Structure 1
């Protein structure tokens, strides 16, 4: 290992791996392990070290086991020091643009340990990539008497503060930091963009299929109290600390937490939000994110956002076959109870054929695609670029959730891409998406007209024409 693979951070020296074309530093802690007396507290400062710390393997992850149906292969690593990050840099000299990536997983699963997130394609194009971990589920977002809310959000802030202190030593420019993420990670980007406390930590954002939390605190508190009942403790800091981590994670997703039965369980996430997610706490998150953006928070920062056409339609492919024989107009009543809104949306989507396709697009519009338009319109006077990923997988037939991620990263050869994208996914599409991401991180402009200069204009990836003013019109009834 060459001597110049050692970097001295503010907290202490670390040694990375010199690879073909770049250097990787893995598992660097940005805060102390959230265990013992630090459990459920805000991220705590590190104890500095003097000996060179090995940063050649991924660090422990808040995710303790992988989800059985996860599309993106995000691994779990056991250990206590879970608040860590990974850096991929072209070289240790210079001041290159930086992309900080926040993984998805519904704010309750996922990790930065994935071949899909390897930084080699970004370092190849002159960008420093940082991937971060953060506390998940109840641990990160539950409401606890005696503990601060939004601990996962505070982890994002702590990681970004670490980047500001240290990234120059890794060849990055702290003044040119872009935050990016997918799904819950894309929601994290929007959340941070709408937070006054975060504005000094980055200069631009990319939200891919972003899903916001913005849970009412009362709802999160009720779920937390119910979880305390399930594990047999008081809903206090002392009570939850008395329960082993495994006991909490095993029970934090039980259906009874949602307060619904039968079909209501299936629609709860649409109507009431994800089980655990950022909370409107009156402190870090004083108001809903879109309201903050409409008030001008983050208006000086360029934003790139969009969604795939079908997002979660693929999940309905495994629904009981009888669903296919229920007329779409009738089946839609289970997801949208407001008659006038349901009829208006159905008219806008009358060209869609089949109950599965109709219900899948409704979920995509309700959770993801309508949010794209709401954010773009809220930021009407800010520089916002909108995209739409419309390439249907030859395997599933849908342009579904997560399918675009290996295209953005130009990682079509990574593990588990073939099962969702087929044997020969179009490299030219990966070239286009990755080039747009690199251009945005580098210059703050992905290469097509911004929404404010041409309202409604959208770059459509995977369909003709490439530019459209009506790409999200079918979602407008839900905006």
Structure 2
């Protein structure tokens, strides 16, 4: 049976549980609840408490709706009601002392996801001697609206406040505040990139891991298109006062109607970072190449297959590919190079590879090529048998967390995914957190990349001829 254990923080004592050498503390507030007077404001300090605070259950999740349609059959959701959504969770070895720290930031296109998803349990990292922390942050309209009279990038500012909390408090759990690795996948990877682009946040990060994360922020006008459309749909002004007068669930319903039938690769605009003098002065893709923070970064071979079911891919006609190439200024020779790299691929598959390479793989490769600081690049290539996902977006998470038995992992990978690959990837991530070396050479002129598959190899980065032709 778990035994109670207590840690004293600057805001008060918290009571968690200890079992089999691991202490677990859940739902610890790192900032005040962002509702009422705090809604659409920068994260505010936590009020101290006198009595010992229960930290045995996850805190409330940011307002969100489940994933729709076919993607909802693959990606689970957790919704825990309540206002106190800006919380952190800690898994720590009972004997931790100056241990390395891993701060995990979940993905979900900046409008879904939660640290309470069982796949993100930090026990396996704690058993390896790491103090593991996961956080919630504001999502969707609450976190990434572009509103007159309101700060921008509030979800990113939440993550920055959480990082500051970890730096200030992690010593109480046996962690070393000078050895914090920030890690995120998809939108969580984008937030890690955003933290690295902020000098004050970057100073607190020893190393960083970005898995399939977009790296580009937009102008306020472009990032604010989703907000402007929502305001028009609701019949209100795109300002703080008007949006604060709309209930969170009503904003969610309006967003669901707005996004119906869309995907991350097309349709209604999605939430994005806005370049902003206060919260994000420069786009991360412009900064990551210049900084000295060691970086582990990569993507999956077939990212797009999470967002497009096979029938949707089959329905993409050559005219759509042509129009996309014209809109994105993709030269014909790039399309020809992709067809050569993927012989027998359908028009839809070529469209998907081009779109996701433009969004993910090409930017991360440009950043890696520009960097002189230690940079390790990977490509996750193992092909799932589920729904012809192949190496789709988010598939690597069950391997990184070494939780292939988890229901969320099995929805993507099936019940027979290779345990050896999970052991290998989990060990590589642990090694990077502890030493900065995941076990393969740094990315340099030879563009060496770790290719994770049933049999993993270190090879020159694949498909560079085609990728390097992209704008």
- TM-score scaled by structure 1? 0.90
Gaps of 5+ in 1: 258-264
State the partner residue of 1:140.
143
Which secondary structure state, in structure 2, belongs to the residue aligned with residue 417 of structure 1?
helix
Equivalent-residue separation in structure 2 for 1:44 and 1:449 (angstroms):
42
- Which of residues 230, 246, 249 in structure 1 aligns to 2:233? 230
Contact 2:119 / 2:408 at 8 angstroms: preserved in 1? Answer: no
1:293 maps onto 2:285 in alignment: no
My pick for the range that moved more, 88-97 or 384-393, is 88-97
- Which of residues 197, 201, 207 in structure 2 aligns to 1:198? 201
Contact 2:226 / 2:269 at 8 angstroms: preserved in 1? Answer: no
Which secondary structure state, in structure 2, belongs to the residue aligned with residue 332 of structure 1?
helix
- Which of residues 380, 390, 413 in structure 2 aligns to 1:389? 380
State the partner residue of 1:280.
275
State the partner residue of 1:418.
410
Q: CA deviation at 1:314?
A: 4.3
Gaps of 5+ in 2: none
Q: CA deviation at 1:4?
A: 6.9
The 5 A counterparts of 1:42-441 are 42-68=42-68, 69-70=71-72, 71-91=74-94, 93-212=96-215, 214-255=217-258, 269-270=264-265, 275-294=270-289, 296=290, 299-320=291-312, 323=315, 326=317, 330-337=319-326, 341-352=331-342, 353-355=344-346, 356-379=348-371, 381-397=372-388, 398-441=390-433
Q: CA deviation at 1:313?
A: 2.2
Q: CA deviation at 1:421?
A: 1.3
**Distance verdict in 2 for CA 1:339–1:151, change over 3 Å:** closer
Which secondary structure state, in structure 1, belongs to the residue aligned with residue 288 of structure 2?
helix
1:469 maps onto 2:460 in alignment: yes
Contact 1:195 / 1:292 at 8 angstroms: preserved in 2? Answer: no
My pick for the range that moved more, 97-106 or 418-427, is 418-427
Contact 2:105 / 2:184 at 8 angstroms: preserved in 1? Answer: yes
Which secondary structure state, in structure 1, belongs to the residue aligned with residue 408 of structure 2?
coil
The 5 A counterparts of 1:453-468 are 454-462=445-453, 466-468=457-459
My pick for the range that moved more, 350-359 or 100-109, is 350-359
Q: CA deviation at 1:3?
A: 8.0
Which secondary structure state, in structure 1, belongs to the residue aligned with residue 102 of structure 2?
strand
Contact 1:179 / 1:205 at 8 angstroms: preserved in 2? Answer: yes
> CA offsets per residue over residues 160-186 of structure 1, 9 Å max, x none?
011011101011111100000111111
Contact 1:458 / 1:467 at 8 angstroms: preserved in 2? Answer: yes
Q: CA deviation at 1:153?
A: 1.0
Q: CA RMSD in A?
A: 2.4
Contact 2:341 / 2:463 at 8 angstroms: preserved in 1? Answer: no
| Number of residue equivalences | 463
Which secondary structure state, in structure 2, belongs to the residue aligned with residue 350 of structure 1?
helix
> CA offsets per residue over residues 200-248 of structure 1, 9 Å max, x none?
2211100011123512101233432332232232322221111111111
> CA offsets per residue over residues 76-133 of structure 1, 9 Å max, x none?
1110000001111112641111100000000111111111111111011111110111
Contact 1:197 / 1:284 at 8 angstroms: preserved in 2? Answer: no
State the partner residue of 1:260.
none
State the partner residue of 1:262.
none
- TM-score scaled by structure 2? 0.92
**Distance verdict in 2 for CA 1:101–1:274, change over 3 Å:** farther
Q: CA deviation at 1:331?
A: 4.7
